[in-house]
Amino acid sequence: MKRLPFAILGAAFAALAHAELPPPSDAARAQAAAAAAKSAWADKVAQYQTCRAIDHTVETYQKELRAEGKPVPTPVPTASCVDPGPYAAPLAPKPLEASGAHSPPETAVAPPSSPVPAAEMSSNRK
């Protein structure tokens, strides 16, 4: 009898834990995409800074070996450090109407209709 309230309470918490959240709004999705892009850029900057630090350490080590008169081992060729540049926010896609999806690629020089009446056009086809 003493365990029944705990079982009911546990079942209620389990039901709450499995409840679904509403889908994120378009603004929330855009914000998440922007945060992911900035995080990816920050990772590239960190890799660049690590690469530069490794190059500096190797140069210092080689200078110390030369100063002591010891033979300098041949370095292993590696990829050069690539600077990711300043952060550029990703461009938001244009809405379908503004993207020109419904418009012809060139500017119209004449109206889409012809000056010939439809009755004359259908008689010419026969």
In order of 37, 44, 78, 93, the CA distances from 86 in angstroms are: 13, 11, 24, 21
- Model pLDDT for residues 41-88, shown as the tens digit of each residue: 999 999 999 999 999 999 999 999 999 999 999 888 888 999 999 998
In a domain, 93, yes or no: no
120 part of a folded domain = no
DSSP notation for 14-65: HHHHTPPPPPPPHHHHHHHHHHHHHHHHHHHHHHHHHHHHHHHHHHHHHHHH
Is there a contact between 77 and 110 (Cβ–Cβ < 8 Å)?
no
Is 60 inside a domain boundary? yes
Tell me, what's the pLDDT at 102? 60
121 within a domain of the structure (yes/no): no
The amino acid occupying position 76 is V
| Separation of first and last alpha carbons in the chain | 92
* Domain containing residue 48: 36-67
Q: Say what the pTM is.
A: 0.56
What's the domain count of the chain?
A: 1
